[in-house]
Every structure is written in structure tokens, then in C-alpha cells.
Structure 1
Amino acid sequence: MSLINIRALGVTLSTPLFANLTLSLAAGDRIGLVAANGRGKSTLLRCITGAFEPTTGEIFRARGLTVGHMEQNLPAGLEKLTFREAVLSALTPEQQESESWRADVTLEELEVPEALRARRLDALSGGWQRIALVARVRVGEPDVLLLDEPTNHLDLSKIAMLEAWLGALPRDMPVIISSHDRAFLDAVTNRTLFLRPERSQLFALPYSRARAALDEADAAEERRFEKDMKTAQQLRQQAAKLNNIGINSGSDLLVVKTKQLKARAERIEEAARPAHQENSAGAIRLANRGTHAKVLVTLEDAPVETPNGTLLFRTGQKFICQGDRIVLLGLNGAGKTRLVGQLRRAVEAAGGTLDGIKATSSLVLGYGDQALSDLSDEKTPHDTIIHRFDIGDQRARSLLAGAGFSIEMQGRSVGQLSGGQKARLGMLVLRLAEPNFFLLDEPTNHLDIEGQEALERELTAREASCLFVSHDRAFVRAVANRFWLIEKRRLVEVDGPEDFFTEAALSA
């Protein structure tokens, strides 16, 4: 039995986000909602809750149905509450008075450490804030869960915990999950909805298999369209020949036949529908300056320490060479970001040497971190580019347009941009720096799937040299060709990431 029925739903803002969407949500459905940034995923979830009025269509909910909706951002003022208070505040005043135990049960379900429950949210990491949002939705025990980007800011152990938690929910509880995490979608969904402006596509498959089916359907649609266009062209050519013969011979029959052929061609052209073409959110391209040096960075048993001097691990002797795409693996707190910071400081230091790390003199660094800290929130995208690179106003505007920034967006402050827009600006800055070595800390954090795949292609096709940290398992599998693991206070090289992924899941 369907709990929610969506019929011919459409939303148009400045442009159509989606149209004529029909969907039934039944018990046990775990639907992955996939689209590029800004293409209507969050809007659709808000339509389902009734918080947003669609342009066209209707939504029917089963009588008495309760819907729990986890949005992407903390509600205003929530950051001042403790973790437990934030969860408890999601209940009605009456429930808070007599059923406060619900909050404790939910915190246990989500394995929130006792020490964190009394801490204010603004003192916690983005990952724990995200878990708090999930807990607030779950504590009311809704009939349906809607989760908007639940894995944002989560490390691998928390992602694994969230996967296990979703798997432990009642089997008949339907869940809709908007996410750009491909491996997560594969683990927790059984259906996939690709949201599109005209013809959204639903498959009874998890993401990767659904994506393959979608690509095949799009290719078949493109072949049908080309065949129909070719048939229509042939009919018009036949009509033109018959028309000439009819005029020369004075045959009324041939004139009639000509009109019939033209009419058939018009009907075919009107019915033919081109395959979906993704309207890109902006191109991601990188540059690879190249260098004659074979060894780019040498690590001579460098110590990696906390700010107060506590040793986290030692690197041993390691070399980063041309063409290496090294992923740095380790549990949360192992020191991954600390090593990335030391590498950056060593490259930027006079002589390229610092604390046991030596960079070749020809190394040109391209650095990006998960907080996009290299971008100033006060500057505009146009100012960001024009003040860093000597490329001229017109070239700067053209490059920004190619990266998905309209003239109006180019004049906004960076602080007003979405996470995805900031990420694309950061990638453009990386490209214009023309590095020969990329140092990337969570580069896919704010990118949609289209952007992730574009970055994967750029790094691999250009044979870029890089060291990166990522919790995105699909990205790691696609990009890395070497694997460094922090374990037992040492940095060791391993054959692949899968054992670590399993360990991270078991530690959740």
C-alpha cells in the first residue's frame, strides 16, 4: 500500500527544476534521490512535507502519516543547545515533559558518546552536528524519514555507523535520501530516482546499477532520436523530388503525395524527443604544469605531532613521485590533516625543507582543503580571480562563466555562495595556479556526483601528481594508485583501501 503518492508534480522557479513527476512511496522503500546541486532535491523533500507549494501536481499522504525531515543546516539558535537538549527540543512540550527518555534511546541508537551529550552543538564538529540533525528527526518516531545530505561532514566511521543505523530501522519504514555519496547510496537504498527538469527516471535498483541502467536508457533514447530525425529527413527529400516531378508533369496525385510525405515528416519530428542532456553546473578542469623531477617530495621519518607536541606518528622514509596519486588513510584523529598541513608548510618554506620533509625546487603546489579556507568570504568570485592571476577582466569573466558563474553570481560575495559553488570556484583557482602537485583535503565534500566524476577524470586523465585525504570511498577507488595508512603511530604503504574501509566500519 502506498503511503505517499506524487502525481504530475512540478516546480518552476527561475527555470523548471522538475516537471510531471509521478512517484509512489510504499513500506520498505529506500529511495536514493540524485541530481546535481541546485536541481530540486531539497525542494522536492520540502514539497513532500508540505513546507513548499509545488507549481503543478498533487501529493497525497496516507491519513495520520507523520514525516520526519532532516534538512541540511542547523535551525537558527540550535547551536546554543547541548546535544541532548537539541534532540529533546524536537519533541512536543508534552512529550518533553513525560517522554524525555525518547531522546536518550535515540542517542543510544546513534551511538553518541556520553561525554558529547552535554556539550553545546557549536563546540562539536560538523559531523556530530549532522548526527544531531538525524537524531532530531528520529526521536519523534515518524512513519517516513526524509534525509537531506546526511553524510556531509561525516568521517568513514560515522558513515558506517549511519549505514548500520539505517539497516537496523524497521524494515517497513520508508526512507528517501538525497545524497552525493555514491558508496553510501549503494549501501542503504533499493531504488534510485534521478530528478530531471523534464523526464525524471526511477529504477528499482541501488545507485551504481541504476546509473548504468540510466546511461543505457539515455543512449537508447539518443539512438531513437537520431533514427527518427534521419527518417524525417529522408521523407522530406522524397517529398522534394516528388514535388519537382509533380510540377513538371502537372500531376495532382504527386502533389497530394508530396503533402502526405511532408506531414509524416512533421509528425515524426514533433514526436521525437532528444535524450536528456545534463545542464552542467559548470566545468571542472585542472592544469598539470609538469616537471622534470621524478621525486617531488621526500619524507625523512618526519614526526607528525599535535599542537601541544604529542607525537601522533612518524612517516618513515617515503617518496612522492611524478604520477603518484596517493590517498592518506587513517581513523579520525590519526593525524591526516596534520600531515597535509606539514607538507604544505614544507613546500612553501624557503628551500622547500621543513621538519624532515623536502620538496623539489621545481614543485608548484595546488592546495585545497575541506573548509575552502583559501577563499575569502568577503571577496567576490571575480575579485578572487582577478586579484590572484594576471589574466585581465574579460578572461576572468569568461573563465568564471565556464565554471558555472553567471554575471550576477560573479558579483556576489563568496560567503553568499552555496558549498557546491564555492567548491567549483576553488577548483578554478587550482587550475589557474597551474600546479604540478596537488594537495587536497576532502576535495569532494561540496561537489555533486557530476562534479566528483569530473574531478576524477581530470586527476586521472592528466596523470596528475597528488596526495589527498577523502572519506568518499567511490572517489578513493577511482583516483588513488598508492595507499598510505596511518596505524600504530607509523605511516605504512598498503596494497589497497578495502581493509581500511572494513576496519573503519567495524570501529563505528
Structure 2
Amino acid sequence: MGSISLRHVGAVAGDSLFQDINLVLSDGDRLGLIAGNGGGKTTLLRAVAGLAAPSSGEIVLSRGLTIGYVEQDVPARVMQMRLWDAVADALPDEARHDEAWRIDVALDEFATPGEFRERMLAELSGGWQRLALIARVWVTQPDALLLDEPTNHLDLARILQLEAWINQAARSIPVVIASHDRRFLDATTNRTLFLRPGVSRLFALPFSQARQALAEADAADANRQEKDLKEAKRLRRNAGDLYNVGINSGSDLLLSKAKQLKSRAAAIEDAQKSLHKDRTGDIRLANRDTHARVLATLDHVAVAVPDGRPLFRTGLIHVFKGDRIVVLGRNGTGKSQLMRLLALAMTGEDIAGIRVTPSAVMGYADQAMSQLPNDETPHQFITRRFDVADQRARGLLAGAGFAIEKQARPIGQLSYGQRTRLGLLALRLTEPNFYLLDEPTNHVDIAGQEQLEAEILERDASGILVSHDRAFVEAVATRFMLIDKGRLTEVDWPDTFYRQMREDVEA
């Protein structure tokens, strides 16, 4: 039996990230770690892994317990290795020589093709690099596992594969997962910790159930605080009345009682804690009006890779005002290539088979937010691109979660979550009426994802989206298109596609 004990653990980075966390993780516990961007998830994982000390409290591991920590980024030196060598590199020299079979076993657990094992890690997709990081840790046979954003860069097939692996291979050890993928958390966790600067909340429930319990607890706190403050106000009013009577009558007893009531009111007020509010900034959209009923038409569009190799054809598809079409398909089938063709057509380039209404105004964001200039600051980008005055730009950026110091930092130095929020702010200022969004929830925290969903629905935004985020897809889509066997066809709901993907993983 292995265990990890957190005793009054807190962390400060300028402001408090979290404080006074007490919990014990034992074999079979799978903890989902939830916080906004910059809310302390990685800080806590690094502390548990022994790579950093908490600001307060202590973390105690059971005797001999070894921890495997899967970080978000691949070390630069590992990127220059073959995939097989990158996993072998995690082992001591003697084990690498005598127990090389462990490397292949670890790669087999993720169904790694033989030819991929011989390729340089830098040549592989971000998804395979992510799985290589997990295999590097797993080959060391840890007694506990920490995963920091493990689904980043994974396509749906690999996400489902990772879910199955956690529930099978890692089911008997303590596992901590920091993630923004709500469906993934539901599938892999049985406990949830919401990190907060004040009182963090722990529930013995997977994410969605825990989120509901959190909402109920927050509502109860708000009601209790309202009642307590009303009581404090009543006590102060009574104290004032007694004080006036005591002064007029010269009664020391009434003056003493008035003082006691004031003290009780002050104690109630001092006991009140600020109610938690997510502090990562708002995500807002705009939706310019158009009288056009059909925004775009795809008439048997041929989608191919840049070297000309065909991927699929679309058939005849009309995109109506109010449509939010989600394009489904396995990785490499051409979803992002279709989005790029649509973006080119909407900027005036002649793309065979694509017709766009003249009143359509595009809001396009690719997975990498490549429209953002890395060498400019957020403030320079907003003022120059959108001709916004200095003070308004500062206000817009602050509202999106950018403190003054981050507004003056080069965009290339921002976190991925911050870059995504900046890209979404740019979309809002564009005031589009036709959105092309390729993986828009990448790197956005759960509160931000829910804000984005709410904005899309409230604005009745139109457009075409690509996403592996099942919760996001199910929340916003009105139509679904599936790329399969060289064709793009409409389907009623994504469940059949998801089921097929899961069966492929289990096969």
C-alpha cells in the first residue's frame, strides 16, 4: 500500500494560489485537480513530485514510495532522440541494458507502431510526443502517477486510449490528473479537488458530480453569509439603540450591553470570507448581423494535403445562418485542411467548390493561434490591429485576464492558455458573423470553456468548428459532419463515431 499525505499545504506566488490543503491519497485513488489557468495545478504537482517545496505545510510519502511525474513539455534534449531511445533514457544504465524488454512493453501499452519507435521524437506529432512522455515515466514502474494536462495535443482516439490505460494499467496506484477535459476527468477520476486561493474543496466524486456538489456548497456559503451579515447588521442596530438609551438614562448596564452587541457583530463580520470567483478573465464574443440565409456553400469540394494527395470530398453542403457545424473525423483525415480552405475562400481566394455570401465576415482561429504575432506584446497587437486607443486596449486586456505586466510581455512568452484567450479577444474585436474555430478550447481552463460555450449559444453564432472536446461539441453543435472513407457526410449525433473510436482502441 502506498500513500501521499498533504498536511496544511499552501503555495504563494505573489498572491495565494491555495492554502491549508489536507488530504490522503491511497492506492486506487484517482484525483482530478481543477483550477483556472495559473491557479496552482502545476505548482502542487511539482511539490508532490518533490521538485519544489510548498510555501507552507508538508507532503509526506509512505516509505519507499516512488512518484512518476509527467510534465507538460518534452525536454529539449529528448526531442532529438528516437522515440524508443527517449523512453529508454528514463531507465538507469544497467536496467536499459538488462531489461530492454520493459521499453517495448511500455510502448505496446499505447499501441505504438513499430515504425514510430525508430523516428526522431521531434518528427512526431504533439500527441505522440505526449504519449512518449507518459511511457518514459511508466517504464520506471512508479508507485504513484502525476499527470499534468495529459490530453494536450491528443486526438480523440488517443484520448480514449489514455482513458482506458488509466482505468486498467494504473488502476491500483494513486493517480493525480490536472486537466481541463471534462469528459476525460469524468472517465478517469473518482475524487476531485478544486484549488482556490481561499478554501479549496475536495469531493469523493468524479468531476461532473463534484462540480454540482461544489455549486451547491457555494450557494449554501452565499446564503449563510447573507444571513450572518443580516444578523450582524441587526446586532449593530440594536447596539445603537441601547447606546442611545444608556447615554440618555446614564445606565452603565445598557452601555455595557451595547458594547457586547457590537463585539458580537464585529466577530460575525470578521468571520466572513470572500466568496470565491474565478479570476482568469472573461471570454466574450460578438456576432455581426447579416440578412443572408445561406452563409456558405460547399459544392463537392476536393480536400487534399499540400502535395496534392486527396483526402476527401464534401458533397453539396449549405451552411445556414445559425448553423454550428462540428466536423468529426480521425486524426489526419483532413479536418484542419478543410478549415484552411474555408478561411482562404473567405478572404477572397478562389477555391473550387466553395461559395461565400458577400456579407459573411470571418472569425478564424487555428489550433496554434498562428494569427498572433509572437514578437508583439498583447497591448501592441490590440492597438495596432484594431485601431483601439491605449486606455481601451488596457481595459479590454484586463477584462480578458491580462494583468498590466503581461500586457507588456511578448506574445511568444505567454502561456498557451493566455495566447488562446488573446486570440479569442481578437475574434471578438473582429465582430464576425461566421466563425471558423479549430480546437478553440485547447489550453483554456474549464471556467473559460464554459464561458465560451455560453457566449456561442447566447450570440447564436454561426460557423464550422473542429474539436476533440466532447463536452464542448455536445454543448454548442447544431449539426455534425463526419469524414469517413473519403467522404464528408452529415450524421445525427456523434455517439456512433465515438463508439467506433472506442472499439478501435479496445480491439
Same fold judged by TM-score > 0.5?
yes
Counterpart residue number, 1:214: 214
Counterpart residue number, 1:321: 320
Distance in 2, matches of 1:444 and 1:267, equals 44
Counterpart residue number, 1:163: 163
Amino acid at match of 1:20: D
Counterpart residue number, 1:307: 306
Amino acid at match of 2:87: V
- 1:11-50 to structure 2, matched below 5 A, reads 11-50=11-50
Counterpart residue number, 2:337: 338
What is the percent sequence identity of the aligned residues?
A: 56
Q: Give 1:307 deviation, angstroms.
A: 2.1
- 1:126-205 to structure 2, matched below 5 A, reads 126-169=126-169, 171-205=171-205
Distance in 1, matches of 2:405 and 2:468, equals 34
Amino acid at match of 2:254: L
What whole-Å deviation, never above 9, does each CA across 1:214-234 have from its counterpart, x for those lacking one? 010011001000100000001
What SS does the corresponding residue of 2:146 show, helix, strand or coil?
A: strand
Counterpart residue number, 1:421: 418
What whole-Å deviation, never above 9, does each CA across 1:19-73 have from its counterpart, x for those lacking one? 1111101111011111011111111111111110111101111111110000000
Amino acid at match of 2:226: E
Counterpart residue number, 1:400: 397
Match 2:361 to one of 364, 374, 378: 364
What SS does the corresponding residue of 1:159 show, helix, strand or coil?
A: helix
What whole-Å deviation, never above 9, does each CA across 1:251-308 have from its counterpart, x for those lacking one? 2222122112112111211223343222x21211111111010110011111112223
- 1:69-468 to structure 2, matched below 5 A, reads 69-169=69-169, 171-278=171-278, 280-349=279-348, 353-468=350-465
Distance in 2, matches of 1:110 and 1:301, equals 37
What whole-Å deviation, never above 9, does each CA across 1:76-119 have from its counterpart, x for those lacking one? 21100010000000001111121111111100011111110000
Counterpart residue number, 1:475: 472
CA contact (8 A) 2:289 2:433 kept: yes
CA contact (8 A) 2:83 2:120 kept: yes
Amino acid at match of 1:317: L
Amino acid at match of 1:459: I
What whole-Å deviation, never above 9, does each CA across 1:343-386 have from its counterpart, x for those lacking one? 11111125xx5210100000100000111111111111112112
Q: Give 1:311 deviation, angstroms.
A: 2.4
What SS does the corresponding residue of 1:42 show, helix, strand or coil?
A: helix
Distance in 1, matches of 2:434 and 2:241, equals 63
Q: Give 1:402 deviation, angstroms.
A: 1.3
Change in CA separation of 1:233 and 1:2 when aligned onto 2, cut-off 3 Å: farther
Q: Name segments (4+ residues, structure 1) moved above 4 Å.
A: none
Distance in 2, matches of 1:153 and 1:381, equals 25
Distance in 1, matches of 2:170 and 2:341, equals 46
Distance in 2, matches of 1:59 and 1:411, equals 37
Distance in 2, matches of 1:336 and 1:270, equals 56
Amino acid at match of 2:144: V
Distance in 2, matches of 1:37 and 1:276, equals 15
Q: Give 1:171 deviation, angstroms.
A: 3.4
Distance in 1, matches of 2:276 and 2:282, equals 18
CA contact (8 A) 1:225 1:274 kept: no
CA contact (8 A) 2:2 2:173 kept: no
What whole-Å deviation, never above 9, does each CA across 1:466-506 have from its counterpart, x for those lacking one? 21000000100111111111122221111111111111222
Q: Give 1:2 deviation, angstroms.
A: 6.0
CA contact (8 A) 1:219 1:275 kept: no
Distance in 2, matches of 1:277 and 1:346, equals 42
Distance in 1, matches of 2:21 and 2:50, equals 16
What whole-Å deviation, never above 9, does each CA across 1:99-154 have from its counterpart, x for those lacking one? 11111110001111111000001000000000000001100010000011100000
Q: Give 1:309 deviation, angstroms.
A: 2.4
What SS does the corresponding residue of 2:76 show, helix, strand or coil?
A: coil
Distance in 1, matches of 2:288 and 2:430, equals 9
Distance in 2, matches of 1:274 and 1:18, equals 14
Amino acid at match of 1:302: V
CA contact (8 A) 2:186 2:207 kept: yes
CA contact (8 A) 2:2 2:65 kept: no
Amino acid at match of 1:446: H
Q: Give 1:310 deviation, angstroms.
A: 2.7
CA contact (8 A) 2:148 2:179 kept: yes
Single out whichever of 218-227 and 242-251 deviates more from structure 2: 242-251
Distance in 2, matches of 1:263 and 1:308, equals 78
Q: Give 1:170 deviation, angstroms.
A: 5.0
Amino acid at match of 1:309: G
TM-score by length of 2: 0.98
Amino acid at match of 2:407: Q
CA contact (8 A) 1:222 1:274 kept: no
CA contact (8 A) 2:2 2:143 kept: no
Distance in 2, matches of 1:241 and 1:167, equals 65
Q: How many residues align?
A: 505
CA contact (8 A) 1:29 1:174 kept: yes
User: Cα RMSD (Å) of the superposition?
Assistant: 1.2
Distance in 1, matches of 2:418 and 2:473, equals 22
CA contact (8 A) 1:192 1:207 kept: yes
| Structure 1 unaligned spans of 5+ | none
Distance in 2, matches of 1:173 and 1:19, equals 26
Distance in 1, matches of 2:504 and 2:305, equals 22
Match 1:498 to one of 495, 498, 507: 495
| Structure 2 unaligned spans of 5+ | none
Distance in 1, matches of 2:49 and 2:333, equals 40
Single out whichever of 376-385 and 85-94 deviates more from structure 2: 376-385
